[in-house]
Structure 1
Amino acid sequence: MTVPQTPKDPESAGGAGRGAPRIREAVAGDEGGLAELDRSTWSTLHAVQPEPGPGQPFFDERHLPEHYLVAEDEDVGVVAYLRLVPPTPLACHAHVRQIQGLAVAASARGRGVARALLRAAADRAREQGATRLTLRVLGHNAPARALYAAEGFAVEGVLPGEFLLDGVYVDDVLMGRSL
């Protein structure tokens, strides 16, 4: 699989002359860094799963390295990830890929990293023969919803009050786009 590299244009990367992280497929050796990133970015703004604990593995039989694209900063290592998988094992659903997780370290935010991961995911999905890309986002996560909309995703459905997070009912927003 070929994953496009993010540009080294300082303006698109943010920061004075600092290049954008390189996008690549995850490898087993990323486990520790990804687990730490998952713990450090966890929030009910975007997560419905319980907070990951120390020592909890990142990869397992359902979450394999090849399901993840990572953004790697040459100075600090992995700073972001995106999980891209078929939403079901059904043959009639094989034309769809779903984003099931996106996290960016605080130190890498505002540099176009999430946008680069979304574009790389669309390219990867096309390479896998997909014609649609979907995701689910919590209704109260306005920054993520705005990013997804800017990248061509449209709201295709809303499950009102689907999750109870911190004592508040939160919508589950279904978004998708054609590839």
Structure 2
Amino acid sequence: MPVPYIRHARYADEETLGRLDRTCWSVLHSVQPRPRPPYEPFFSDRFGPRDHLVAEVAGAVAGYIRLGLPTPLESNAHVRQIQGLVVAEEARGGGAGRALLRAVQDEARRQGARRITLRVLGHNTPARGLYEAEGFVVEGVLPQEFFLDGHYVDDVLMGRIL
């Protein structure tokens, strides 16, 4: 499989990223209901292209990662939070997720962050393994925080120093 190319998102990616988001939706990683038409725009006032890195494999969008501030507080401005990571099914296992994670940490450092955090559902074993392999550690667990598909699921808080 070709090496993923990582770049910042562009407004022209909106339709492709929205379709990828809807196609990859799963209770394995989403606490939101399955998207239904009419679909919300992918980019919003809160998260635009500047907040997303995109992985391309062989010239096609294979995934994205969203980076944001965990709170609007000045006292928390040294922290960035991964607020979404999606890799197309056909690109999984090819290094796109790992490349996005590494690139987003570089981007967080570039922005002056000293720390990066994320939240992952407890039953999402593949994502948790990837995060741990990239140096993230479990910093807290909110037991049975969500009720998804007939089951209670933990919300796992992970982070690392940059």
Tell me the residue number matched to 2:100. 117
- Rounded to whole Å, the distance in 2 between the matches of 1:116 and 1:54 is 32
- Rounded to whole Å, the distance in 2 between the matches of 1:94 and 1:30 is 28
Amino acid of the structure 2 residue aligned with 1:107: E
How many residues end up aligned between the 2 structures?
Answer: 161
Deviations along 1:68-97, one digit per CA (max 9) or x if unpaired, are 00001234x211000001111111001000
Q: What does 1:128-143 align with in structure 2 at a 5 Å threshold?
A: 128-143=111-126
User: How big is the alpha-carbon RMSD for the aligned residues of Structure 1 and Structure 2?
Assistant: 1.0
Amino acid of the structure 2 residue aligned with 1:59: F
TM-score w.r.t. the length of structure 1 is 0.87
Amino acid of the structure 1 residue aligned with 2:122: G
2:49 aligned to 65, 69, 83, which one?
Answer: 65
* 8 Å Cα contact 2:4-2:95 kept in structure 1: no
Q: Does 1:40 align with 2:58?
A: no
Amino acid of the structure 1 residue aligned with 2:55: A
TM-score w.r.t. the length of structure 2 is 0.96
- Rounded to whole Å, the distance in 2 between the matches of 1:127 and 1:54 is 37
- Rounded to whole Å, the distance in 1 between the matches of 2:19 and 2:38 is 9
- Rounded to whole Å, the distance in 1 between the matches of 2:6 and 2:86 is 14
Structure 2 stretches of 5 or more lacking a match? Answer: none
- Rounded to whole Å, the distance in 2 between the matches of 1:55 and 1:112 is 33
Q: What does 1:1-179 align with in structure 2 at a 5 Å threshold?
A: 15=1, 19-56=2-39, 57-75=41-59, 77-179=60-162
Q: Identity percentage over the alignment?
A: 63
- Rounded to whole Å, the distance in 1 between the matches of 2:35 and 2:61 is 18
Secondary structure of the residue aligned to 1:37 is helix
Shift of 1:138: 0.2
- Rounded to whole Å, the distance in 2 between the matches of 1:71 and 1:33 is 12
* 8 Å Cα contact 1:38-1:52 kept in structure 2: no
Structure 1 stretches of 5 or more lacking a match? Answer: 1-14
